[in-house]
Amino acid sequence: MGAFIVDSSYWELFPDSKIGVLLIKDYQMKEELAGELEDLLELSNQKAKNHLQEEQFSQNDVVQTYRKAFQKFKTKKGARSSIEALLKRVDSGKPVSTINPLVDIYNSASLRYALPVGAEDIDTFQGDLKLTITDGGDEFYLIGDDENKPTLAGELAYIDDAGAVCRCFNWRDGERTMITDNTKNAFLVIELVDSTKEDSLREALNFLEEKANYFLSAKTHQVILDKDSTQLDLD
């Protein structure tokens, strides 16, 4: 098992950022709690409306924060933070629906705390996982797509030895490392770029850990990385 490394190229762009990580090991959904988890996601959709106070969607604070962050690196046209995509659904009256237990848990956290949360299957990683500005050309297959769409030079992405894992922060997730019904060990990450919201980051990590323990009987470990502490063993 390798490590998760946040490269210096990231800290040069976001020196005050915090990267929250939760490792979830040996998990399995408690089927008798499926209805309760659906209720949690439904309530989280309602709570997300607290982050949508402006009449014009794009003027909401969280949307502005991550749009400005995306301007600091090369992106595909139209790339937006995952939290913007979730809040857009809520704003449009199309609440985020259930996908699978772990995804439902981290979407619930994202909606409640207005932070982008992503997850990958640890057992699919090849070598170390890095968050870095890429040279471009990293192999990437979008979920459900059979065409290679490699990273751009100057793009911010999660990559391992086999290619890109997730592009433009967690804008687009790859088929190779996605969470599935067979996943047992997962890497969850929250990208905080607004240093004034660190309390929200900690609350979100605690929420994720609590729900993973309750619904998934998981072994968990949480860490917050910053420019002075830039990597984490994934064992």
Q: Is the pLDDT of residue 219 over 80?
A: yes
Stated length of the chain:
235
The rounded distance, in Å, linking the Cα atoms of 229 and 180 is 30
Tokens 């929200």, residue? Answer: 200
Mean pLDDT, rounded, for 124-148: 96
* Nearest C-alpha neighbor of 135 from the set 150, 116, 125, 114: 150
Percentage of the chain surpassing pLDDT 70? 100
Rg (alpha carbons) of the chain, rounded to whole number: 17
Q: Is the pLDDT of residue 1 over 80?
A: no
Mean pLDDT, rounded, for 27-31: 95
Q: What are φ and ψ of residue 98, in 5° steps?
A: -70, 145
Sorting pLDDT into bands at 50, 70 and 90, what band is 148? very high
The rounded distance, in Å, linking the Cα atoms of 200 and 206 is 10
Q: What is the pLDDT of residues 76-118, one digit of tens each?
A: 888 999 999 999 999 999 999 999 999 999 999 999 999 999 9
Q: Look at the alpha carbons of 64, 66, 71, 75 in this order and tell me if their dihedral is positive or negative.
A: negative
Sorting pLDDT into bands at 50, 70 and 90, what band is 170? confident
Q: Is the pLDDT of residue 208 over 80?
A: yes
| Mean pLDDT taken over the chain | 96
Sorting pLDDT into bands at 50, 70 and 90, what band is 226? very high
Domains and CATH numbers, the chain: 3-233 (3.50.40.10)
Q: Which residues pair with 157 in a beta bridge?
A: 132, 167
Q: What is the per-residue pLDDT for 235? A: 84
The rounded distance, in Å, linking the Cα atoms of 196 and 98 is 31
